[in-house]
A and B are shown apart, each in its own frame.
Chain A
Amino acid sequence: MDALTSQKVTFKVFRFNEETDYLPYYNTYTLDVTHEEVVLDILNRIKWDHDGSLSYRRSCRHGICGVCSIKVNGKAILACKSRLFDLINVFGTELVIEPLSTKRAIKDLIIDKKDFWDKHAEAKPFLTGEIEETPQSEHLVSPHDAEKLLEADYCIQCGACHYSCPAVAINEQFMGPAAFAAAYRFSADVRDESALERLHIVNEEASGVWDCVKCMECAEACPKEVNPIEKITKLHNMIFEANIAKNNVATRHAVGFAHSIAKHGLLDEGELVRYSEGNIGVLKHVPVALKMFTKGKIILPWNMPKSDKLDEIQKLIKSSSTVKF
C-alpha cells in the first residue's frame, strides 16, 4: 500500500467562455489530493468549493459514457477513470487541466465535438442488412465471429484518440482514428452488408486512411484499449483485398516496399519515391535530392546494396504474399 495517502497538488485549469472571453486563461488551485481520488473528484471539488462557474461534462462516472474526456499535461484521459496518483507519478505535482482541444473550447473544459460526430457519422457506424420483419430466431454471432471485431466495439466515442491525432489537427478533412475504428467495427461484423461502401469512404485521399501519419498516438490515448491504428491497418488490408485500391501515390508507396524488397532485400529509397510519385511527380523531389546527393546521401542505382541470401527473401515473397495490386 502507498505510504503516502495524500499529497499537495497544483492544478492549472484552462478557462474560457466563448461568449465573453477574447483569450483563454488559466486558474490555479492548490489542493490536497488523496490516493483514491480521480480527476473528476478534483473538478467537482473545484466547482463545488471554489468556483461554481467551472464548466465540464460529466455523466456516468464509470468510464462508459465517454463525455468527461479531457487532457492532463497533454495526455487525453477520462476524468472519471484516471487516478491522481497515477498522473502525479508521470507528471509530478503540477498538473495542467485542459479541454481535449483548446481551439474547440466553448466553455472551460467543454468543447464543440461537432467535427468528431460528423466524421464518425461519415463512417456509417451502424449495421445494415436485409432483415425479416418477423424473424423466427435471433441473429446470433458466434464467439469466433465476435473476435473479428478485435474489440473495436469497446469504443465509447470519447474523442481521446481523435483529439490526440496530429493528422486531424492539421488536415480538417481527415476522418480520424475513432471514425476509422468505427468503420472497421461495422465492416468486420458478419451481420453487416455495407463493408464495401465503407471501404470506399475510407479509401478517399485526404479524408481516408492513407493520410494517417503512423504516430501511434491513438493507440496510446484510447482509454478503452481499442487500438485504432490496428484497425487502420486492417482497413488498408481490406481495401487491397477488396481490389478497390486506387492507383495513386499512397497505394504505390505501400506496394513499392514489396517490389523493392523483392529486388534488393533492402528498400531502394530513390526508386520507392519514383515509383510512388510517378516519373513526373518525382520531379518535385529533385531539389532536395540534389542537396542530399552532394552530402553523400543518395545511392546511385548501380551501387544499391543488397541483403545477403536474397534468394531466401525472394522465395518467401513468392510463397507468402497474400494480395496482388
Chain B
Amino acid sequence: MKELKYALFTGCTAKESTPEQMMSTLAVAKKLGIELVELTEASCCGASHLQDYDDFLSLVLNARNIAYAEMHGLTMVTICNTCQLNTSMTKHRLDHNAALKAKVNEKLAEVGLEYKGTSQITHFLYAIIDDFGLDKIKEMVVKPLSQFNIAPFYGCHNIRPSELQNESHKAHENPYNPTSLDDLIIACGGMSVDYVEKNKCCGFHAELQAPHTAAVLTGNAVAGAMDANADWMVTPCPLCHLKLDTQTHHASIAIGREVSLPVLHMQQMVGLALGCTSAELGLKHHVTKVNFI
C-alpha cells in the first residue's frame, strides 16, 4: 500500500487548550505510518461563529487554508469537527458557485494565492477508517481495550448536515445512526455502548451565550453514557472534549445530578490500543482524571 500523507489542519485548540489532542494525533500517525504535513500558515476556521459576523471574510480565510493544502497537493485532514464542518462547507459553497469562487479568489490573489478546489477535506477519524482501514488497525492492536465499556460521542459537526459530510466520507454515515466511532471502538478491542445522546449536541457553541442550555446538553450527554454503563467516553472533536471534560460541574448543577466520566480523544483511544504510553498521549492534560490506566 502506498504511504498515506495528508496536510494537517490542526485548528486552534490543538495548539492551546487540548495539547493532548495534538500529542496523540502525532503519536498515532507515527504508529500507523501516516505522514502529516502541518499547515502552519492556517488561520482559525471561525468556529461557526465568525460567519455570523462576516460570512465573506470567513469564506476567504477558510479558502486560504484550503489553498495551502492544495499547494502541497494533499488531502486536508482535520482533527476538529468544527474545523471539518467550516472548511468543507467553504469548499462546497465555492465548488458549487463559480461567481462566489471568483470573488473569493480575487481577494486571495492579493496575497498571491488561489483556491482551486483540488484538495479533499476529511477528518482524521475518517482518514483512519476509510483510507487506513479498520481491519489493519485491528491487526495492529497490541493492548486491546477489552475490559472497557466505551461510549462514543460523535459530535454534531462531523455527522450533520449529512449531505455535506458524505461528500468527504467514503463510507456513508447516517447521522441518526452513526457507526464509524462504534466500529473504531470495536476495532480497538473495546465494547461500544449505545445511548441516545451519542449523536447529540454537547452544547459547546452556546456555552457563553446560552450557558443553561449548554450545561443541560453536557449533563444529558454524560448522564446518558453513565446510564449505559460506560467506563469512559471517546470523541473525535476537541470542542466536545473540552465541554465534556472540563464543564461537568456546571452540567451537574444544571441537571440536578452528579455527572462525570473520563473522556478520551479518538486519537488517545487508538493510541492506547496501539501501545502508546500515557505520556505520549498526554493523558495528564485532562481535567476529569483518566483513572483507568
Contacts and interface: CB of A to CB of B under 8 A. Distances in A.
Interface of A: 73-75, 90-91, 166-167, 170-171, 174, 205-206, 210-217, 219-220, 227, 233, 236-237, 240, 249-250, 253-255, 257-258, 260-261, 265-267, 269, 273, 276-277, 287-288, 291-292, 295-299, 305, 307-309, 312-313, 315-317, 319-323, 325
A213 B19 contact: no
A220 B203 CA distance: 18
B131 to A, nearest CB: 25
A139 to B, nearest CB: 28
B246 A292 contact: yes
B160 A305 contact: no
A82 to B, nearest CB: 12
B107 A254 contact: no
B64 A316 contact: yes
Given A73-B176, A90-B177, A297 B285 contact: yes
A73 B60 CA distance: 40
B157 interface: yes
B111 A316 contact: yes
Contact size range, B: 35 or more
Interface stretch (B137-145, B206-214, B260-268): B206-214
Contact of B111 (A210, A257, A267, A312): A312
Interface in B187-245: 196, 200-201, 203, 205-206, 208-210, 212-214, 216-217
B213 A215 contact: no
A307 B43 contact: yes
B110 A319 contact: yes
| Prevailing SS type, chain A contact patch | helix
A298 B56 contact: no
Nearest to A215: B201
13 contacts: A166-B217, A170-B216, A171-B210, A171-B212, A211-B210, A220-B176, A254-B52, A258-B53, A276-B208, A297-B17, A316-B60, A319-B107, A320-B56
Given A211-B206, A233-B55, A317-B57, 9 more contacts: A216-B160, A240-B53, A257-B53, A269-B12, A288-B246, A292-B246, A299-B16, A315-B111, A322-B56
Contacts of A215: 156, 160, 200-201
Given A212-B206, A254-B49, A292 B161 contact: no
A312 B41 contact: yes
Q: Top 3 A-B pairs ranked by shortest CB distance?
A: A216-B160, A236-B52, A215-B201
B49 A312 contact: no
A312 B206 contact: no
Instruction: Give the one of B53, B203, B286 with max A CB within 10 A.
Output: B53
Contact of B50 (A74, A211, A254): A254
A278 to B, nearest CB: 11
A292 B243 CA distance: 12
B118 interface: no
B55 A288 contact: no
A321 B57 contact: yes
A268 to B, nearest CB: 8
B175 A170 contact: no
A236 B85 CA distance: 19
B210 A213 contact: yes
A298 B13 CA distance: 10
B249 interface: yes
A12 to B, nearest CB: 15
Interface in B27-74: 40-44, 46-57, 60-61, 64
Contacts of A258: 50, 53-54, 57
Contacts of B285: 295-297
Contact of B175 (A213, A220, A269, A316): A220
Contacts of A295: 284-287
B156 A249 contact: no
B120 interface: no
Contacts of B201: 166, 213-215, 217
A216 B161 contact: yes
A257 B246 contact: no
B263 to A, nearest CB: 13
B257 interface: no
Interface string B108-144: 1011010000000000000000000000000000000
A236 B46 CA distance: 14
A253 B157 contact: no
Contacts of B160: 215-217, 219-220
Given A216-B157, A216-B160, A240-B53, A297 B18 contact: yes
Contacts of A265: 42-44
A211 B213 contact: yes
B247 interface: yes
B12 A213 contact: no
A233 B107 CA distance: 22
Contact of A213 (B40, B50, B214, B247): B214
A309 B41 contact: yes
Instruction: Give the one of A166, A211, A237, A269 with max B CB within 10 A.
Output: A166
Contact of A253 (B111, B208, B214): B208
Contacts of A277: 208
B57 A307 contact: no
A215 B239 CA distance: 13
B156 A291 contact: no
Nearest to B50: A257
Contact of B217 (A213, A260, A266, A276): A213
A75 B43 CA distance: 36
Nearest to B214: A213
